[in-house]
Amino acid sequence: MKDRFLVTGGARLVGEVKVAGAKNSVLKLMAAALLAEGTTTLTNCPEILDVPLMGEVLSGLGCHVDINGDTVTITTPAEVSPNADFEAVRQFRASVCVLGPLTARIGHAVVALPGGDAIGSRPLDMHQSGLEKLGATTYIRHGAVVAEASGLHGAQIDLDFPSVGATENILTAAVLANGRTILENAAREPEIVDLCVMLRQMGAKITGEGTPTITIDGVEKLHPTQHEVIGDRIVAGTWAYAAAMTQGDITVSGIAPRHLHLPLEMLRFAGAQIETYDNGFRVVMPHRPKAVDYQTLPFPGFPTDLQPMAIGISAIADGTSVITENIFEARFRFVDEMMRLGADATVDGHHVVLRGVEQLSSTPVWSSDIRAGAGLVLAGLCADGVTEVHDVYHIDRGYPRFVENLQSLGATITRVR
């Protein structure tokens, strides 16, 4: 049976919310634990569905995984299996991040082609090309990507696009390669920096994270560590846009504001009042938002994961907005559901034009991915009547205590099982 949310519109969200660890970081950190025999402990982990799913993947590889609240303990054996189970891997995209660690640690990886959100194609060609430059042989067979290597060596690797996943797999392979690897056009996301910090704690030699050029000097062996996961900037951004869309006042803690510099600036342009602190920020929207144009780009650009929130605020803004999606071609599926809610939208290729309306109208809608689901809930808060949001298991994959946090901010929302 699938749960759904009933969202009653009209509430002004006010209060404080604390952000947990980043989904887009914790899953990659869990995979990195494969690089060292022994017990690695991660704290500040989000209590979301994808964490136990990654635990299933690691358990299938021979690890012992214990999840206790926001702490995840991974004990990696001396001998790790190369086969990432299809049933576990197919459920979410991040599972492919075991490819690099397995290739580096045991020279063999068989990882089922992953599933996950319906937001467009995300091929593995840059992952494979990077590993091949490090000395591995890769191919696709029987629905799985296979990597084999008798020994990895350093290389000069230039990515065609600053892919987060490819950067992560190349990093986690290169740390145990013989010699120096220089990775150009690397992803610069805060989650990449978090991974590099943990790898250094494990004994890796890495410099340049957070810039387009990362240098890795391979070492013979890594050791387990304890690491605190950074705050989730996408969840924090969701609360920021929730404040602006409902003309509310929300203070968010547990996040470095610099990780959301552009999204918060866009809210300023829309008329919000923003205060930033060392470990959080406050968003106050005193009136109807003004229309602003958005385009998604790799960090430090506007995150594609906040594109549904950009569409949501534009749908009820004063004026006309143009949103351009440059990362995932299918992410505009969300627009169809927004139009069901009464949004005045026109899609043209990778652009959508939104002419803001004062209020949306409630109707049943369906989530197609994690962020689209959250965006539909925020839109429901700006609609008359009660909006039913279906397929909310997507939201559970990325937002811990989503309903409870919304209720604490004054929203009228219930989960129906």
Catalytic residue among 117, 194, 249, 396: 117
Give the containing element (helix H, strand E) for 355: strand 351-355
398 neighbors 23 (Cβ within 8 angstroms): yes
Please check if 67 is assigned to a binding site.
no
Please check if 93 is assigned to a binding site.
yes
Q: Please state the φ and ψ torsions of residue 225, each to the nearest 5 degrees.
A: -150, 180
Give the containing element (helix H, strand E) for 170: helix 164-174
68 neighbors 43 (Cβ within 8 angstroms): no
Active site residue 117: yes
Please check if 24 is assigned to a binding site.
yes
Distance (Å, rounded) from C-alpha 335 to C-alpha 352?
8
Other residues' Cβ atoms within 10 Å of the Cβ of residue 286: 9
Strand, coil or helix: 37 = coil
CB-based burial label for 322 (10 Å; 0-12, 13-18, 19+) = middle
Query: What is the identity of the amino acid at 416?
Result: V
What contacts 174, CB < 8 A, 6 or more positions away? 104, 134, 152, 154, 155, 181, 183, 216, 218
224 neighbors 76 (Cβ within 8 angstroms): yes
Give the containing element (helix H, strand E) for 110: strand 108-112
The total number of residues shown for the chain amounts to 417
Distance (Å, rounded) from C-alpha 182 to C-alpha 206?
10
Q: What interhelical angle do 233-245 and 23-32 show, nearest 10?
A: 170
* Residues annotated within a binding site: 23-24, 93, 305, 327
Active site residues: 117
Binding site for UDP-N-acetyl-alpha-D-glucosamine, residues? Answer: 93, 305, 327
